[in-house]
Structures are given as C-alpha cells and as structure tokens.
Amino acid sequence: MTLKEQILRFSYYLAASKKYASAKKRVWRLLNDPTYEYKKYFDFFMIFLVLSTIMILILEIKNTLPFWVYLYEGIAVVIFIVEWLARLWVASDLHNDIIQTQESAAYDHTELTLWQLLQPALAKKGRFIISPMSIIDLLAILPSYRALRFLRFLLLFRLFKVFRYTENINDLLRVFVEKRFEFFSLIIIFAFLVFFAGTVIYIFEGTGANPQIKGFYDAIYWAVVTITTVGYGDISPVTPEGRFVTIFLIISGITSISFMTSIITTAMAEKLEMMKSSRTYQEIARLKKFIVICGYGKMGKVLAHELTRSDEKVVIIDTREEEVGEALKDGFIALQADASDIDVLKAINMPGRV
C-alpha cells in the first residue's frame, strides 16, 4: 500500500469516527465558543499564564530568580505550544479536505499525485499559520534565550495573546477596523500637517537660528510633539515665523484630535450597545431551558417573579427601553426586541429549548 493510499484510508477512518469528531468539537468550543461553559475558565487560566510570564521577564532584568521560576516559565511555554497546536488542529478539517480533493478528482477521472492530494488541505493550515494571531502565538513561545535584548523584546509579544482571550476588548478594537476610512483620512491629514510644519520650521530655524533644531528629524519631532499638544518644551521656536507656525499647528492639532475623539466615542458607544445585546444572547444560549415573557408590564412582572420563585429561568422580551432596564434591575435576562420577530426567536434558539 502506497503512502497516498494510507493517507486516504486514514482520512476516511477519521471521517467515520464519532469519537474523533466529538473530541475535536470539544477542543474547538474550548478555544473559540464563548457560550461553552468551560471557556471562561480556560481564558482566565491563559491570561494568568501570560501575565505571570511577562512579570518574570520584568523581574529578571535586575534580579536573580530561583530555579523553580524558570521551570514554571518552561511549563507555561509548553502549554502555549500545546494551545497553538490545538488551534492549528481545529482551524480546518484536514481529512475532509483530502477526501473532497480525492472525490473531485475521481469524478473527473483524474489521477492525483501525493502533493496534489495534500496541497489544498495544507494550504488552509498555512493560512492559519500566517494569520496575525497565530504569528503572535508563535512569537510568544520562542525559546527563552534572553542573553540577547532583541529576543527579550520578542517575548513581550506574549502580552498580545491576552487579546485572544478577551472578547470584549476585541470587539472594541474592531471599531478601528470598521472606521478605517475615517482613521486613514485623519492619518493622511496628520502626516501632511507634520511634514508641512516640520519643513517650514526647518527652513526658518534649521539654518542656525535655533540651536535646538540640528536636522530635519528634529523639526519633524517638534511638529509631532506640537500637533499632539504634548509640548515637552525641549524644542521651542525662537523666530516670529516659527511661532506663527506653532500657533497654526496647535490649532490644527486640537481640531484634528477633537474630530478623532468624536469618531471614536460615537463608534464605541454603538459597539457597546451591540456588545450588551451579544452578551445577553450568550447568557440565553447557556440556559438549557427557559420561559419567555413577552412584555414587562404589570402582569409580566407578577408572572416573572412567580416563575422565579418556582426556580424557573425567565427571559424578558420587550420593545420598551424603560421596561427592559427595570427587568435588568430586577435580576432578569432581558432583551429589547420585538417578540413577534421570527429572527429574534431564532437568535435565542427557541425550538426545543423553551
């Protein structure tokens, strides 16, 4: 039996194995499903490992640490490696991709080489490996060769792993992706203003009038510090022309920063509302059985409290913001939505659970 035939046979075996599918699903849920009951414990554990190994990196700069600390870090790195391999495993179904490629070739009466059979499946794994979060994971598990400062810097990438386990932070960071056009426009404006002001100040004061500006880099540095209204004061204009440029740059900086702040504030307020709604749906998804009460009026309140006394799980759906807020204060899970909307009922997965 050739290697290709053995791989195909093993792929069909895995596709037919319920135990393998069940184990892979559990691992996937542990790593990616926020509604899985054990995921939050896994996330807390991984965040603790990340922060504790970063603390070791900080403490060892001026201290000699005991052997057990380095042993602990070694164990943590092994856990990081296992986690990365698990993510690589669940990123795609290698055996199903191989089977699909083989059956497509068989349908076309085409004989595939071993590489042609494996290439589509391996390409999916490769896309995961070069994804940004995977690269951060790989940098986080670099060996602890800290004699070189550069490698110590790379190990700080472990801190970015925290973003993988904090869904709320990721949701807020997506604001910058969703508003990328506005931010890109502001960056272009900032770059133009910095270059313009830096050039002007260099022309007027970089020729010896200002001993603090010895080169174009100093002029650009001054422009960045001034437009962001930081104002260290280490470089100050001394000519009337330079001071006029400073006034122009400060006003431009305040205007641009105000515009950026308004964009971020508005976008994050919208995102926070979406996050609250998403968190409510996740809470509902964790319930095995619950009763939906449509409306939190006088009768709805009485019914909800009576059902709670009977140890029933209750979900309130109301279109009125005030009533939803009151239900939340009373300790109920509440959604501001139209209970007659079929999409809302599908979102809380009512069939078979209510």
Residue 198 tokens read as: 């830096």
pTM above 0.75, yes or no: no
Neighbouring CB atoms inside 10 A of 69's CB total 17
- What is the chain's Cα-based Rg? 29
Contact, 224 vs 194, CB < 8 A?
A: yes
**φ, ψ of residue 96 in degrees (nearest 5):** -65, -35
| Separation in Å, CA 237 to CA 212, 213, 248, 253, 350 | 9, 9, 13, 17, 68
CATH 3.40.630.30 fits 180-271, yes or no: no
Confidence at residue 86, expressed as pLDDT on a 0 to 100 scale: 95
Confidence at residue 292, expressed as pLDDT on a 0 to 100 scale: 84
Residue 163 tokens read as: 């973003």
CATH 3.20.20.70 fits 287-347, yes or no: no
Mean per-residue pLDDT pooled into runs of 10, the chain (354 residues): 86 91 93 85 90 85 85 89 93 91 85 87 92 82 55 68 70 72 84 90 84 87 85 81 86 84 80 74 76 83 83 83 83 81 73 51
Q: Three-state SS string across the chain, please?
A: CCHHHHHHHHHHHHHHCHHHHHHHHHHHHHHHCCCCCCHHHHHHHHHHHHHHHHHHHHHCCCCCCCHHHHHHHHHHHHHHHHHHHHHHHHCCCHHHHHHHHHHHHHHCCCCCCHHHHHHHHHHHHHHHHCCHHHHHHHHHCCCCCCCCHHHHHHHHHHHHHHHHHCHHHHHHHHHHHHCHHHHHHHHHHHHHHHHHHHHHHHHHHCCCCCCCCCCHHHHHHHHHHHHCCCCCCCCCCCCHHHHHHHHHHHHHHHHHHHHHHHHHHHHHHHHHHHHHHHHHHHHHHHCCCCEEEECCCHHHHHHHHHHHHCCCCEEEEECCHHHHHHHHHCCCEEEECCCCCHHHHHHCCCCCCC
Confidence at residue 148, expressed as pLDDT on a 0 to 100 scale: 46
What does the alpha-carbon distance between residue 80 and residue 137 come to, in Å, rounded to a whole number?
A: 7
Confidence at residue 291, expressed as pLDDT on a 0 to 100 scale: 81
Contact, 246 vs 226, CB < 8 A?
A: yes
| Separation in Å, CA 55 to CA 73, 143, 159, 162, 257 | 10, 17, 10, 14, 34
What ranges do the domains of the chain cover? 3-165, 180-271, 287-347
> Any idea which residue has 């895995």 for tokens?
14
Chain centre distance of CA 214: 42
Confidence at residue 208, expressed as pLDDT on a 0 to 100 scale: 79
Same CATH topology for 180-271 and 287-347: the answer is no
